[in-house]
A and B are shown apart, each in its own frame.
Chain A
Amino acid sequence: MRITLGLDSTSLTRRYPKLAVLASLFMAFAAPMGLYVAALAIFPLNTPERINAMSQQWLGYDLAGSPYRNLVYALFLMLVAFIAVNFTAVFGGVSTWVERRVAGRMQSRIGPNRTGAAGFLAWVADAVKMILKEDTIPGSADNLLFRAAPYFSMIGLLLPFVVLPFGEAAVVTDLNVGVFYVTAVTAFVVVGILVSGWASNSKWALFGGIRGAAQVLSYEIPAGICLMVPVLMAGTLSMQGIVRAQGGLPWEWFVFRNPAAFVAFFISVTSSLAEGNRTPFDLPEAESELVAGYHAEYSGFRLAIFLMVEWANMWIMAGLAVTLFLGGWQVPGVTDEMYKGALGTGLVPSGTWFVYQALSMLIFTVKTWALVFLFIWLRWTLPRVRVDQMMSLCWKYLVPGAFLCFIVTLLWQLLVPPIGNTITGIVLFALAVVLLVKFLVATFRNIGRVRGDRLDLSNW
């Protein structure tokens, strides 16, 4: 029997061009927006006190004294988890489309442009295809571990969302050991990689798994030490505390506050690239050497989970760097008092509060997407490093560099008065702007080097 699902996307797009545009716009804007609005509405509510107060005031039901209260709290937690999971899936999908389009243009190609407007629905089609495929398990694989491995990776991806602040109030919970928690739970991803490599009972997968373990363990060290730099500067491990210690304007961000933090930012981004197995550090799945590395034996839904983890991890990596170094959700000119004042004492905050929150989420999203673009851009610029190069980069350069940054930050915090921070901030920010301008000039000069080429963003 032949099953037709009407998924011949090209002909669908041809037949209903307007439908394709609408569907693309929906998936591009309405779905993430919906998740953001839901996050904004649900995340701040997610404390027992607020839920109790709401139930008391609107339903006239005393939840705090009810035997079912834990059930209700759990329900709210489920809602939060639902939002986080869907956010990772949508972000993972959209980022694959962005990556393929950017990669295409960087290689003088166009990239996917047939499914939906500008090819945007390609990621939906990919996901549908993967889910419909057969989920094969090799006969000699360790059945239980093989089935479980993708979920380890997925847990490692989803747990950091607990403390990752999307906005002033849009955070699930503000743990006082947030940074420590993130470094701890992101290691789950490598558990998944190692387990999948072992359970596949395949040479390539095992090589990939072992490489992944070696890589992540090595790069945890510079990453961890570099995460200590903003912690030292803010005096707290809480993610929200670190963001609050920074300001909205660029020279109030930690990255520009002292030279050591500036270096630490780059070391931390490099190490997080290695921890997230992004090119140039994608040794665990090096397709030219190891077929597909740890997920060589996977297919169907489990492979989809691995790929979603790989891409959605970019959000965690970028979000973490933005939170710790680039000012997080801080809106220029909006202070803590203004948030508190707008919140008021009632159950429903005022409209101004929602405007502030939306602004803060927007700023966080824009910054994070900028870093995600940087990761994509790096991937299509650099070749994959060798294993020995990867190790020597980590142990010979990044670890000593990270230690140096740590010590310089310690001394800086002790010896430099606060005015020094501001001056360094402005100087370093000016330096960054100059470098950016020089960079763009060099880029445009490169375009002009080929005769007849000019800035042209057409041909989509």
Chain B
Amino acid sequence: MAEAIREYFGHITEVVKTFWEGMTVTLSYMLRRPITVQYPDRTEKRIADTLPSRYRGLLEVDTSVCTGCMACERACPIGVIKIAADKDPTNPKQRVLTQFDIDVSKCMFCGLCVEPCPTAAIQHTREFESTVKSIDNLVYRWVPDPEKPVPMYRPVKGQDAPRAPVGELMRKRLAAAVWTAPPSIFPADAAKDSKDPSEPKKG
């Protein structure tokens, strides 16, 4: 009996004590600074700059060191990368890139294209803020104009390719990007699109 009474009042004192303890803890947290980082308005640094260096962000291509080997295009499991090559009309020995498109809207950031690249021309950056109103603008054209093709790079033995620092080109592109820009149409695609309806596929 005495045991039961002690237990009964023990419960009451326990409730009072634990309430006291719990309420002081929650109130103390209310008076502290929340640890939430208020992205994107109130961050001390750009978030991209705080990410680890091996972060697999948007793909960047430095076409000045691209050899045009198309290893990345073959490695891509989804067909995100589209490369077109041609001969330089003025110098038949020099091959040129007329198209190097990466459709980021399809990319799954697996990194398989980065691995086979002999000159590290294609690299993941730490950038990720690429939203645009039109999904067509997520196709990054690293050869902006097919009329001005980029000559392919020839590797020099015993020397690293002089690649631009990773992320710099992408950052410039993102800074210049306009959210509401009209969808850009690549001249080659436009020609194909206009042809397609008139030539129905056979088979």
A residues sitting closer than 8 Å to B (CB atoms) are 102, 104-110, 113, 377-378, 380-382, 396-397, 439, 442-444, 446-447, 453-459
Contact B38 A102 (CB under 8 A): no
Contacts of B188 in A (CB 8 A): none
Nearest-CB distance from A23 to chain B (Å)?
A: 20
Contact of B23 among A102, A381, A444, A456 (CB under 8 A): A381
Residues A380 and B32 in contact in the complex (CB < 8 Å), given A397-B12, A439-B20 = no
- Name the residue in B12, B27, B35 with the highest tally of chain A Cβ atoms < 10 Å from its Cβ: B27
Contacts of B27 in A (CB 8 A): 106, 377, 443
Contact A455 B31 (CB under 8 A): yes
Nearest-CB distance from B26 to chain A (Å)?
A: 4
Contact of B24 among A102, A110, A380, A442 (CB under 8 A): A442
Contacts of B11 in A (CB 8 A): 397
Chain A to chain B contacts (Cβ below 8 Å), 13 pairs: A106-B26, A106-B27, A108-B29, A110-B36, A377-B26, A381-B26, A397-B11, A439-B20, A442-B24, A443-B24, A453-B32, A455-B32, A459-B38
Main secondary structure of the interface of B (DSSP, over half): helix
Contacts of A107 in B (CB 8 A): 29
Nearest-CB distance from A460 to chain B (Å)?
A: 9
Contact B31 A456 (CB under 8 A): yes
Residue B33 at the chain A interface, CB threshold 8 Å:
yes
Contact B34 A108 (CB under 8 A): yes
Given A105-B34, A110-B36, 19 additional A-B pairs, CB 8 A: A104-B34, A105-B30, A106-B27, A106-B30, A108-B35, A110-B38, A377-B30, A380-B26, A381-B26, A382-B22, A397-B12, A446-B24, A447-B28, A453-B33, A455-B31, A456-B31, A456-B33, A458-B33, A459-B34
Contacts of A381 in B (CB 8 A): 19, 22-23, 25-26
How many A-B residue contacts, CB cutoff 8 Å? 68
- Please report the total number of B residues contacting A with Cβ < 8 Å: 21
Residues A108 and B32 in contact in the complex (CB < 8 Å), given A397-B11, A397-B12 = yes
Nearest-CB distance from A393 to chain B (Å)?
A: 9
Q: Which of B17-74 contact A (CB under 8 A)?
A: 19-20, 22-36, 38
Contacts of A104 in B (CB 8 A): 34
Nearest-CB distance from B25 to chain A (Å)?
A: 6
Residues A443 and B34 in contact in the complex (CB < 8 Å), given A377-B26, A381-B23, A397-B11 = no
Residues A102 and B31 in contact in the complex (CB < 8 Å), given A110-B38, A377-B23, A439-B24 = no
Closest 8 CB pairs of A and B: A446-B28, A456-B33, A442-B24, A381-B26, A105-B30, A443-B24, A447-B28, A381-B22
Contact A442 B33 (CB under 8 A): no
Contact B23 A447 (CB under 8 A): no
B residues sitting closer than 8 Å to A (CB atoms) are 8, 11-12, 19-20, 22-36, 38
- Measured in the bound complex, the distance between the Cα atoms of B27 and A381 in whole Å is 9
- Measured in the bound complex, the distance between the Cα atoms of B36 and A109 in whole Å is 6
Nearest-CB distance from B71 to chain A (Å)?
A: 44
Q: Which residue of B lies closest to A382 (CB)?
A: B22
Contacts of A456 in B (CB 8 A): 31-33
Contacts of B12 in A (CB 8 A): 397
Contacts of B33 in A (CB 8 A): 453, 456-459
- Measured in the bound complex, the distance between the Cα atoms of B25 and A442 in whole Å is 9
- Measured in the bound complex, the distance between the Cα atoms of B23 and A102 in whole Å is 13
Contact A442 B20 (CB under 8 A): yes
Contacts of A105 in B (CB 8 A): 29-30, 32, 34
- Measured in the bound complex, the distance between the Cα atoms of B26 and A106 in whole Å is 6
Q: Which residue of B lies closest to A438 (CB)?
A: B20
Nearest-CB distance from A420 to chain B (Å)?
A: 26
Nearest-CB distance from B132 to chain A (Å)?
A: 17
- Measured in the bound complex, the distance between the Cα atoms of B20 and A439 in whole Å is 8
Contact B20 A443 (CB under 8 A): no
Contacts of B28 in A (CB 8 A): 443-444, 446-447
- Measured in the bound complex, the distance between the Cα atoms of B27 and A377 in whole Å is 8
- Measured in the bound complex, the distance between the Cα atoms of B133 and A293 in whole Å is 41
Contacts of A378 in B (CB 8 A): 23
Contact A110 B31 (CB under 8 A): no
- Measured in the bound complex, the distance between the Cα atoms of B19 and A108 in whole Å is 20
Contacts of B32 in A (CB 8 A): 105, 108, 447, 453-456
Q: Which residue of A lies closest to B28 (CB)?
A: A446
Nearest-CB distance from A265 to chain B (Å)?
A: 14
Nearest-CB distance from B49 to chain A (Å)?
A: 21
- Measured in the bound complex, the distance between the Cα atoms of B22 and A439 in whole Å is 11
Contacts of A444 in B (CB 8 A): 28
Contacts of A453 in B (CB 8 A): 32-33
Contacts of B20 in A (CB 8 A): 439, 442
- Name the residue in A102, A106, A377, A455 with the highest tally of chain B Cβ atoms < 10 Å from its Cβ: A106
- Measured in the bound complex, the distance between the Cα atoms of B35 and A382 in whole Å is 22
- Measured in the bound complex, the distance between the Cα atoms of B27 and A444 in whole Å is 9
